[in-house]
Amino acid sequence: MAVHLYSIKLLQIIIGSFFAAVGINMFIVPNHLLAGGVAGISLIIHYIFGYSIPILMLIINIPIFIAGFYKLHYGYVMRSLLGLGSLALFISLTKFYLPPILVDDLLIAALFGGLLQGLGYGLIFKGRGSSGGTDIISLILRRKYSFNVGSCNFLMNTVIMTVSLAFFDIRYVGYTLVSMFISGYVIDKIQLGLDRANNVFIISDRSNEVAEAIMHEIGRGVTLLQGRGAYSQTDKEVILTSISMTQLPKLKDVVYLEDPAAFMMVGEASEVFGRGFKPSPLKEKEELEFGLKKTWRKLKRKKEKTQLEKTKLD
């Protein structure tokens, strides 16, 4: 199971790199749009001097990855190295096999370029990796100075976009910002998932009957919380349950069938972990790091055994 999960994560990174490369080569580069991070720096240099984008990305990332190996988790850096390598490879390959799409309306290029890049980077991040660059820099700064990762990325991308104004028309920079917004939106959707859930609080005088109905008719767990009415000063049990969005209409029917006077509050939950929803992040992390940890421990034991045998001979 652990090896299977690890393989799926690596496959997500590779597939994500392909989609990101398609977005760059088919829509971004032919229409002279830019991007954020190291990819954006590489595009600026490419447009001005004509150097190869994947080679520039690899060169710029060398010192970043060296710092990453010293400061960040080995598994994450290795998965990011896979992401960078795959992205550079696919940018090189898709340049020859996929036709560039030139459009009169740059909004179309920004839309599709951002969509494909968002899909690609979203899959890479979901695979617990990155494409290097500003993502690794942000994590290093967070570890060393407790900076917010999102704020660091935003600040670095702002600097890149500001510098690009000195070389390119504001029209291209403006549509690049549109592309980056779309990309970020798609990344969020992939990261958080489309199957968002709802947290529902229910206050009812028939709390036990309502709770039983939810558990038996919908199949969701229920927690009973102790509450007190501020006006009536009477104790009440507050029902808390998490359900998927598709189950919300059925929940309303079940609750109001049991108690037409029930008070219900529905709030959106970005993520819910546990039985019936997503697996525990800690469990997934342990399974994800299984392969690397196992290899590292084997090498460590082998080294200790060799040193022990050498000591005995001496």
- Predicted confidence (pLDDT) per residue in 23-74, tens digit: 999 999 999 999 999 999 999 999 999 999 999 999 999 999 999 988 888 8
CA–CA distance, 290 with 292 (Å, rounded to integer): 6
* Amino acid at position 236, single letter: K
Q: Confirm whether 274 is domain-assigned.
A: no
Please tell me the predicted confidence (pLDDT) of residue 6: 75
Q: Which residue has the tokens 């104004």?
A: 165
Residues 254 and 228 in one domain: yes
How many domains does the structure of the chain reveal? 3
Residue 240 has pLDDT above 70, yes or no: yes
CA–CA distance, 107 with 103 (Å, rounded to integer): 9
Residues 123 and 61 in one domain: yes
Residue 212 has pLDDT above 50, yes or no: yes
Locate the DSSP E strands across the chain: 197-203, 223-228, 235-244, 263-269
Which stretch of 138-147, 192-201, 298-307 has the lowest confidence by average pLDDT? 298-307
Please tell me the predicted confidence (pLDDT) of residue 111: 96
Residues 117 and 256 in one domain: no
pLDDT band at residue 205 using 50, 70 and 90 as cut-offs: confident
CA–CA distance, 221 with 27 (Å, rounded to integer): 47
Residues 70 and 50 in one domain: yes
For residue 159, give every residue at least 6 positions away whose Cβ sits within 8 Å of its Cβ, in sequence order, or none: none
Give me the CATH number covering residue 213: 3.30.70.120
Residues 64 and 136 in one domain: yes
* CA-closest candidate to residue 27, choices 45, 43, 15, 14: 43
Please tell me the predicted confidence (pLDDT) of residue 1: 45
Residues 252 and 115 in one domain: no
| Residue 264 exposure: Cα atoms within 13 Å on the Cβ side | 21
**By residue range, what is the domain housing residue 223?**
197-269
Q: Are strands 263-269 and 223-228 parallel, antiparallel or unpaired?
A: unpaired
For residue 288, give every residue at least 6 positions away whose Cβ sits within 8 Å of its Cβ, in sequence order, or none: 2, 5, 6, 9, 75, 128
Residues 152 and 297 in one domain: no
- Predicted confidence (pLDDT) per residue in 179-190, tens digit: 999 998 898 888
Q: Which residue has the tokens 């998927």?
A: 244
- Of 170, 192, 214, which residue is a domain's last? 192
Please tell me the predicted confidence (pLDDT) of residue 72: 85
Residues 31 and 118 in one domain: yes
Residues 62 and 175 in one domain: yes
CA–CA distance, 67 with 28 (Å, rounded to integer): 29
Helix 37-49 vs helix 53-71: angle between axes, to the nearest 10 degrees? Answer: 150
Q: Confirm whether 275 is domain-assigned.
A: no
- Predicted confidence (pLDDT) per residue in 247-294, tens digit: 888 889 889 999 898 899 988 776 666 665 565 555 545 444 444 445
Please tell me the predicted confidence (pLDDT) of residue 79: 92
Residue 168 has pLDDT above 60, yes or no: yes
Average pLDDT over residues 12-25: 95
Task: Return the number of other C-beta atoms located less than 10 Å from residue 9's C-beta.
Answer: 21
Residues 246 and 304 in one domain: no
Please tell me the predicted confidence (pLDDT) of residue 46: 95
Q: Confirm whether 153 is domain-assigned.
A: yes
Residues 6 and 138 in one domain: yes
Q: Confirm whether 238 is domain-assigned.
A: yes
CA–CA distance, 198 with 240 (Å, rounded to integer): 10
Which stretch of 1-5, 117-121, 173-177, 249-253 has the lowest confidence by average pLDDT? 1-5
Residues 235 and 265 in one domain: yes
Q: Confirm whether 96 is domain-assigned.
A: yes
CA–CA distance, 105 with 102 (Å, rounded to integer): 9
CA–CA distance, 160 with 5 (Å, rounded to integer): 36
- Predicted confidence (pLDDT) per residue in 94-130, tens digit: 998 899 999 989 999 999 999 999 999 999 998 888 9
pLDDT band at residue 2 using 50, 70 and 90 as cut-offs: low
* Amino acid at position 137, single letter: I
Q: Confirm whether 276 is domain-assigned.
A: no
For the whole model, what pTM was predicted? 0.73
Q: Which residue has the tokens 């994947």?
A: 54
Q: Confirm whether 98 is domain-assigned.
A: yes
pLDDT band at residue 176 using 50, 70 and 90 as cut-offs: very high
**210 in Cβ contact with 201 (< 8 Å):** no
Q: Confirm whether 33 is domain-assigned.
A: yes
